[in-house]
């Protein structure tokens, strides 16, 4: 079994901490370790580091190598440019296929938090057995706690069977991020789960499905496959990759495929997708306040707030539901519940070409 950790993205909703040079997964947000270090540590009990591959961009490869010394250098796969998850997963599948034809491939995002690692690994092992037995595409669904419009949704169908006590379900449909009204309808239905972005499948199965649903992408991948490990790799791969279609694996394959299965992920999952999400999973004082990153804070008549400011004393008086984040060159003050819109600040900075804040 191999793990492929997708370490791309910018983490714009975690500005001003998350920047182009050091995005969210390279930061110590949920503990003293960085999120990607936690991701690797979590899977190591069932997958040897020699079988863990990281797909990343060139500008982040150096810091990843420093943060993950247990991962062999040849397991750091450099993506020539960001082309969304279908191309990323396809490229990783080719690299794994070169090493072990027929192996199971576990695809994980680099920036999620999991409370119960033991249960997580138990679910992954059952999912891997499902992928091997059913020749299918297996994913992990998270029971929704709210009508969240920031996630895709998986519609559960009938029970297929149980493996190691874990229920395996057929998937009726996979839906991309809905509007709020539709998300509410999903929650009321009771058969919809958040799409965790985790996938488990045989290499041959995912390549066959890419060939079926994204034939142009598959053709490009086959050109790449011909030169992997050869002197021409550094020239041909970027040239081919540039022409690949940028599309998510969800849109491109999962929504169309008819051999999709789901396990429920009851292991304390969070995508840590915003400052609000960090507040939700963090330890709080009796008034619901969170202090993170070693900050020095005095709360006076303050409720439901989060502060990250490791370099200065912060005092709050008579406020409620605030997010306060300071770095060396920027200060964010945000009403809790609105942190999904922090990415709009990044868009404004891009428009004004204020690159030093990006």
pLDDT tens track for 132-164: 999 899 999 999 988 888 899 999 999 999 999
Cα–Cα dist 88/107, whole Å: 10
Query: For 213-233, what is each residue's pLDDT tens digit?
Result: 999 999 999 999 999 989 999
On whether both 263 and 291 belong to a single domain, the answer is no
Global pTM?
0.92
Q: Confirm if 50 and 100 have CB atoms less than 8 A apart.
A: no
Domain-ending residue, one of 270, 297, 320: 270
On whether both 18 and 134 belong to a single domain, the answer is yes
On whether both 172 and 32 belong to a single domain, the answer is yes
- Tokens standing for 326? 């300071």
Q: How many domains does the chain have?
A: 2
Query: For 262-277, what is each residue's pLDDT tens digit?
Result: 999 999 999 888 899 9
Domain-ending residue, one of 225, 251, 270: 270
On whether both 121 and 263 belong to a single domain, the answer is yes
Q: How many residues does the chain have?
A: 358
On whether both 178 and 261 belong to a single domain, the answer is yes
On whether both 317 and 246 belong to a single domain, the answer is no
Query: For 168-204, what is each residue's pLDDT tens digit?
Result: 999 999 998 889 999 999 999 999 999 999 999 999 9
Q: Which domain holds residue 294?
A: 275-357
On whether both 252 and 133 belong to a single domain, the answer is yes
Domain-ending residue, one of 237, 270, 303: 270
Q: Confirm if 343 and 13 have CB atoms less than 8 A apart.
A: yes
Cα–Cα dist 288/307, whole Å: 12
Give percent of the chain above pLDDT 70: 100
Domain CATH code at residue 187: 3.90.550.10
On whether both 221 and 279 belong to a single domain, the answer is no
On whether both 320 and 213 belong to a single domain, the answer is no
β-strand partners of 263 = 140
On whether both 209 and 286 belong to a single domain, the answer is no
Cα–Cα dist 93/209, whole Å: 12
Query: For 108-118, what is each residue's pLDDT tens digit?
Result: 999 899 999 99
């Amino acid at each position: 079994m191999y793990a492929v950790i997708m370490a791309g993205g910018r983490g714009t909703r975690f500005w001003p901490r998350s920047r182009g040079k050091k995005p969210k997964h390279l930061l110590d947000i949920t503990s003293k370790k960085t999120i990607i270090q936690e991701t690797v540590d979590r899977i190591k009990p069932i997958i040897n580091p020699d079988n863990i591959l990281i797909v990343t961009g060139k500008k982040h490869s150096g810091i990843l190598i420093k943060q993950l010394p247990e991962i062999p250098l040849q397991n750091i796969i450099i993506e020539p440019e960001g082309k969304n998850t279908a191309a990323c997963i396809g490229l990783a599948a080719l690299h794994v296929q070169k090493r072990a034809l027929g192996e199971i491939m576990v695809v994980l995002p680099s920036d999620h938090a999991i409370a119960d690692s033991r249960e997580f690994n138990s679910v992954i092992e059952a999912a891997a057995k499902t992928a091997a037995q059913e020749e299918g595409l297996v994913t992990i669904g998270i029971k929704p706690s709210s009508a969240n419009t920031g996630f895709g949704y998986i519609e559960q169908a009938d029970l297929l069977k149980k493996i190691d006590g874990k229920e395996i379900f057929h998937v009726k449909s996979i839906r991309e991020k809905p509007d709020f009204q539709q998300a509410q309808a999903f929650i009321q239905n009771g058969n919809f789960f958040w799409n965790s972005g985790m996938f488990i499948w045989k290499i041959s199965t995912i390549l066959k499905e890419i060939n079926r649903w994204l034939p142009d992408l598959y053709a490009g991948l086959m050109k790449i496959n011909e030169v992997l490990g050869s002197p021409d790799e550094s020239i041909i791969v970027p040239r081919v990759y540039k022409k690949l279609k940028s599309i998510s694996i969800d849109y491109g394959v999962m929504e169309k495929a008819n051999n999709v299965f789901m396990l429920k992920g009851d292991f304390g999952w969070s995508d840590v997708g915003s400052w609000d999400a960090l507040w939700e999973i963090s330890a709080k004082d009796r008034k619901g306040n969170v202090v993170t990153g070693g900050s020095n804070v005095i709360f006076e008549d303050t409720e439901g707030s989060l502060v990250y400011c490791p370099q200065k004393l912060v005092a709050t008086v008579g406020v409620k539901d605030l997010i306060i984040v300071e770095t060396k060159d920027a200060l964010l003050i945000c009403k809790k519940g609105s942190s999904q819109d922090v990415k709009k600040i990044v868009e404004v900075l891009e428009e004004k070409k204020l690159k030093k804040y990006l």
